[in-house]
């Protein structure tokens, strides 16, 4: 008779070879865990009722589980290291064995630096990244390959993060994406934007008056820009005042939202981990904040649906779509997904972009003064007029190149036939990622890539070797629909503050060294503390 230990070892091998090696498992994680627990309990019970005694049954069950799990994980590791189709790509061996290694490396939310270090060590097709089917591409062509014209890639497992909530960004289904995106494009069309313009200008004025109140006292620009971005989003998205600029304090739900998003620092590379957390510990730790965040977003929409407004906001378009199609439960989930996307994408990107831009303005006053000269005689409350100013645009681009708001996020899965990038074949069904932080600094894309030179975007084009490397808003059919709104906000804030103030680091800030040193990558960039002084020009 075969020993039970040997049966468990064979079961582990078969579980890998016949089951887990196929397809995706990130949505099935909770079920897999529960099934294993049930099976383990049955083993324990059968041993107990076969007169095994409590302790002996427990020891036997643990022994069999250990045999099963070690055989399962050994089979996975051997397959990934020795037989996998990506084994020829260079990269850390442990990353090839398990996603958990990448998660461990990102435990302090410095994913951008982890990938930068891998680039320095392994080069363009940086590695067989963390996991069996993932390659990180550090190449100027990466965004075109991922999302450019005619590509047949699909979105990766990451985009199931909110499942079963669906939105333009949180769906992997092309047809559904096209449908949701159409609604977003209408909500953020040029005509619609002109209707939100008054609201944004109003918030910029409030921001200006807040800065004026400080009278050259140090201002934590991180908080200020968050207050501005969330208050603006509250208004143009839901016609709601979150009151952060008014009170000078974090709205408790928005503070919780920020806390929830910190989960994505370490766990973005392995989305099945937060999905397990959502299933098993919904009321604990930051997972609790995650559900609070979703509830807060739903409540914003619920409150908005009760209002009748003379001027449209972004939610108007979502509500119209929802009502048009009848309130079936599927549409309910779509509305919820799009609302969460609107809250987070509409603010948590603009806030760090502004913080980082003002960090650069303080670091390079020469460019701030050039912008100051440029905005003389220009209507500073007209985003279209501001968009024509080359140095302002160059400075914003340069800030977004070196420290983009979305540092590493975006991943796709190659089509079954695979794809070529610069002569290298990437096999089919491979997850590909392209971190903006590193690609923005490539020597193959820029001359003097580590220097802050806004002129490269207008009068010195020779400093850009390959402009495909610049995609702070993504490219193609999945690129940012909020780009024009975000840029309008950034231009308006910059013109308003630069016109009235010289921007300097507060005493003791040491040239803002904490900003990059302490910056975290938590889906969006969370810069380190940046204390600035706004010195009146009059
Ligand atoms: C500086 C600010 C912003 C930056 C840097 C930014 C960046 C990005 C990037 C890189 C993507 C592509 C993500 C991917 O590849 O999956 C994206 C998508 C998206 N962004 Fe933004 N974004 C900003 C502001 C906004 C604003 C203000 C809104 C809305 C009001 C918005 C709404 C969206 C939506 C809905 C998508 C998904 C588009 C789709 O799936 O088709 N973003 N954004």
Check if 264 has its Cβ closer than 6 Å to any atom of ligand 1.
no
**Are 200 and 229 in contact, with CB atoms under 8 Å apart?**
no
Q: Kindly tell me if the per-residue pLDDT of 130 is higher than 60.
A: no
Of 343, 482, 488, 526, the one to substitute when testing ligand 1's pocket (max ligand atoms within 8 A of C-beta) is: 482
C-alpha of residue 408 to centroid of ligand 1, in Å:
14
For residue 284, the SS3 value is coil
Residue bearing the CA closest to ligand 1, atom 36: 480
486 vs 327, higher pLDDT: 486
Check if 193 has its Cβ closer than 6 Å to any atom of ligand 1.
no
**Are 90 and 128 in contact, with CB atoms under 8 Å apart?**
yes
For residue 413, the SS3 value is strand
- Residue 329: its pLDDT value, please? 76
How far apart, in whole angstroms, are the C-alpha atoms of residue 497 and residue 358? 10
Nearest partner of 360 among 318, 303, 404, 407, judged by Cα: 404
Q: What is the pLDDT of residues 142-183, one digit of tens each?
A: 999 999 998 999 999 999 999 999 898 999 999 999 999 999
C-alpha of residue 247 to centroid of ligand 1, in Å:
28
Strands 127-128 and 134-136: antiparallel
Q: How confident is the model at residue 330 (pLDDT cuts 50, 70, 90)?
A: confident
Which ligand 1 atom is the nearest neighbour of the CA of 167?
40
How far apart, in whole angstroms, are the C-alpha atoms of residue 367 and residue 378? 17
Q: Residues 450, 451, 453, 454: what is their CA dihedral angle, to the nearest 10 degrees?
A: 50
Q: How confident is the model at residue 84 (pLDDT cuts 50, 70, 90)?
A: very high
How far apart, in whole angstroms, are the C-alpha atoms of residue 405 and residue 519? 11
Backbone angles phi, psi at 53, to 5 degrees: 80, 150
Q: Kindly tell me if the per-residue pLDDT of 7 is higher than 60.
A: yes
Check if 343 has its Cβ closer than 6 Å to any atom of ligand 1.
no
Q: Kindly tell me if the per-residue pLDDT of 418 is higher than 80.
A: yes
Q: Give the mean pLDDT of the chain.
A: 94
326 vs 57, higher pLDDT: 57
- Residue 324: its pLDDT value, please? 87
Q: Kindly tell me if the per-residue pLDDT of 462 is higher than 90.
A: yes
Mean pLDDT of 239-258: 94
**Token pair of 323, please?**
């009502």
How far apart, in whole angstroms, are the C-alpha atoms of residue 99 and residue 275? 15
Is 480 within any annotated ligand binding site?
yes
Q: What is the pTM of this model?
A: 0.95
Mean pLDDT of 179-202: 94
For the chain, the farthest-separated pair of C-alpha atoms sits apart, in whole angstroms, at 93
Q: Kindly tell me if the per-residue pLDDT of 331 is higher than 90.
A: no
Residue bearing the CA closest to ligand 1, atom 17: 480
Q: How confident is the model at residue 514 (pLDDT cuts 50, 70, 90)?
A: very high
535: which strand partners?
502
**Token pair of 321, please?**
């779509």
Q: Lowest-pLDDT range, 108-112, 119-123, 180-184, 460-464?
A: 119-123
For residue 520, what is the enclosing H or E element?
strand 520-522
Check if 167 has its Cβ closer than 6 Å to any atom of ligand 1.
no
Check if 396 has its Cβ closer than 6 Å to any atom of ligand 1.
no
| β strands within 440-511, DSSP E | 501-505
C-alpha of residue 480 to centroid of ligand 1, in Å:
4
- Residue 126: its pLDDT value, please? 63
How far apart, in whole angstroms, are the C-alpha atoms of residue 520 and residue 359? 15
List the chain domain ranges.
4-83, 157-536
Q: Kindly tell me if the per-residue pLDDT of 128 is higher than 70.
A: no
- Residue 191: its pLDDT value, please? 93
Q: How confident is the model at residue 318 (pLDDT cuts 50, 70, 90)?
A: very high
- Residue 215: its pLDDT value, please? 86
C-alpha of residue 353 to centroid of ligand 1, in Å:
12
How far apart, in whole angstroms, are the C-alpha atoms of residue 102 and residue 100? 5
Check if 341 has its Cβ closer than 6 Å to any atom of ligand 1.
yes
For residue 343, what is the enclosing H or E element?
helix 329-345
Task: Indicate the length of the chain as a whole number.
Answer: 538
Q: Residues 257, 259, 260, 265: what is their CA dihedral angle, to the nearest 10 degrees?
A: 130
Q: What is the pLDDT of residues 11-53, one digit of tens each?
A: 999 999 999 999 999 999 999 999 999 999 999 998 888 877 8
Residue bearing the CA closest to ligand 1, atom 9: 473
- Residue 129: its pLDDT value, please? 60
C-alpha of residue 481 to centroid of ligand 1, in Å:
6
- Residue 12: its pLDDT value, please? 96
Give the CATH architecture of domain 157-536: Orthogonal Bundle (1.10)
| Residue 462 burial (CB count, 10 A) | 7
Mean pLDDT of 117-138: 80
């Amino acid at each position: 008779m075969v020993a039970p230990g040997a049966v468990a070892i064979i079961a582990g091998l078969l579980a890998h070879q016949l089951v887990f090696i196929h397809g995706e498992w990130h949505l099935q994680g909770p079920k897999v865990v529960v099934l294993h627990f049930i099976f383990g309990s049955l083993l324990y019970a059968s041993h107990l009722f076969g007169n095994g005694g409590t302790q002996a049954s427990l020891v036997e069950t643990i022994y069999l589980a250990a045999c099963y799990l070690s055989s399962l994980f050994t089979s996975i590791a051997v397959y990934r290291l020795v037989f996998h189709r990506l084994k020829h790509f260079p990269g850390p061996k442990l990353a090839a064995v398990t996603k958990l290694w990448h998660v461990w490396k990102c435990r302090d939310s410095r994913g951008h630096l982890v990938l930068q270090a891998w680039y320095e060590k392994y080069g363009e097709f940086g590695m067989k990244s963390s996991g069996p089917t993932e390659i990180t591409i550090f190449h100027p062509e990466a965004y075109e390959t991922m999302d450019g014209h005619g590509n047949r890639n699909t979105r990766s497992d990451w985009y199931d993060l909110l499942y079963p909530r669906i939105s333009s960004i949180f769906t992997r289904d092309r047809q559904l994406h096209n449908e949701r995106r159409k609604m977003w494009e209408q909500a953020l069309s040029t005509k619609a934007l002109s209707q939100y313009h008054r609201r944004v200008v109003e918030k910029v004025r409030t921001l200006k008056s807040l800065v004026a109140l400080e009278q050259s006292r140090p201002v934590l620009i991180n908080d200020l820009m968050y207050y501005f971005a969330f208050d603006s989003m509250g208004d143009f998205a839901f016609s709601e005042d979150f009151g952060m600029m008014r009170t000078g304090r974090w709205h408790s739900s928005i503070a919780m939202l920020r806390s929830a998003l910190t989960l994505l620092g370490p766990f973005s590379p392995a989305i099945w981990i937060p999905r397990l957390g959502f299933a098993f510990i919904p009321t604990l730790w930051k997972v609790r904040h995650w559900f609070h965040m979703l509830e807060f977003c739903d409540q914003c929409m619920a409150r908005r649906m009760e209002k009748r407004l003379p001027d449209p906001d972004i939610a108007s378009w979502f509500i119209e779509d929802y009502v048009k199609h009848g309130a079936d439960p599927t549409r309910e989930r779509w509305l919820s997904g799009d609302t969460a996307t609107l809250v987070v994408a509409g603010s948590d990107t603009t806030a760090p972009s502004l913080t980082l831009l003002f960090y650069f303005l303080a670091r390079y006053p020469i460019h701030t003064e050039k912008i100051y000269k440029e905005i003389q005689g220009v209507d500073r409350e007209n985003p279209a007029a501001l968009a024509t100013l080359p140095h302002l645009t160059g400075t914003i681009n340069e800030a977004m190149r070196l420290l983009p708001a979305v540092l590493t996020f975006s991943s796709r899965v190659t089509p079954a036939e695979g794809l070529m990038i610069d002569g290298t074949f990437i096999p089919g069904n491979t997850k590909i990622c392209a971190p903006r932080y590193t690609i923005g600094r490539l020597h193959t894309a820029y001359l003097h890539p580590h220097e802050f030179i806004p002129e490269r975007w207008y009068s010195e084009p020779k400093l850009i070797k390959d402009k495909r490397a610049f995609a702070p808003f993504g490219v193609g059919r999945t690129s940012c629909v909020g780009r024009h709104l975000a840029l309008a906000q950034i231009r308006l804030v910059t013109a308003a503050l630069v016109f009235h103030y010289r921007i300097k680091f507060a005493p003791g800030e040491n040239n803002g060294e904490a900003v990059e040193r302490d910056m975290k990558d938590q889906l969006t960039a969370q810069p380190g503390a940046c204390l600035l002084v706004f010195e009146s020009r009059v």
